């Protein structure tokens, strides 16, 4: 079992774009606090916090592996929910939701690819003769 705080040490050992991307995701999700009076902003923050806990749990179990992308599984239903509400939002909230939705969509492409690769590698290892 890995210490979940080791995630940040391992993160900083990745190529520079990865910690930068993670920092962006943390920032854009925490910006939901600016729109706290909006129920959707509270949903965004709650989903982010649950996802972070899930990711730390996955890290504790597997280490810094591609399976960590599974930590964003709650973003799959969140994304269409956000997209459906962008047209009804106004001003800063509308811009925020659009940027957040785009960021989540890009992240999900990485996450789905990583989880797929992780599972494919596990299947390949389980099929190979021991």
Instruction: Kindly list the averaged pLDDT for each block of 10 residues, start to end, along the chain of length 130.
Output: 91 96 98 97 98 96 96 98 97 97 98 97 82
Q: DSSP string spanning 88-128?
A: G--HHHHHHHHHHHHHHHHHHHHHHHHHHHHHHHHHHHHHS
> Would you kindly state where each structural domain of the chain is located, as residue ranges?
25-124
- How far apart CA 130 and CA 25 sit, in angstroms, is 41
Pick from 80, 3, 78, 76: nearest CA to 41: 78
pLDDT confidence of residue 5: 86
Residue 9, both tokens: 């040490």
Chain centre to alpha carbon of residue 107: 6
- How far apart CA 86 and CA 75 sit, in angstroms, is 16
pLDDT confidence of residue 68: 96
Please tell me what DSSP assigns to residue 16: T
For residue 110, give Cα distances in angstroms to 10, 27, 30, 103, 104.
18, 18, 21, 11, 10
pLDDT confidence of residue 85: 97
pLDDT confidence of residue 83: 98
pTM above threshold 0.85 = yes
Query: Is 44 in contact with 86 (CB distance < 8 Å)?
Result: no
pLDDT confidence of residue 118: 97
Coil, strand or helix at 62? helix
């Amino acid at each position: 079992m890995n210490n979940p705080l080791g995630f940040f040490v391992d993160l900083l050992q990745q190529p520079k774009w990865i910690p930068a991307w993670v920092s962006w995701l943390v920032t854009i999700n925490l910006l939901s606090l600016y729109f706290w009076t909006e129920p959707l902003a509270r949903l965004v923050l709650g989903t982010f916090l649950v996802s972070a806990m899930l990711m730390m749990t996955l890290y504790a179990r597997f280490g810094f592996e591609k399976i960590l992308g599974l930590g964003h599984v709650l973003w799959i239903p969140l994304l269409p929910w956000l997209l459906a509400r962008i047209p009804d939002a106004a001003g800063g909230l509308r811009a925020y939701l659009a940027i957040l939705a785009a960021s989540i969509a890009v992240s999900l492409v990485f996450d789905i690819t990583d989880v797929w690769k992780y599972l494919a590698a596990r299947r390949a290892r389980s099929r190979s003769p021991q």
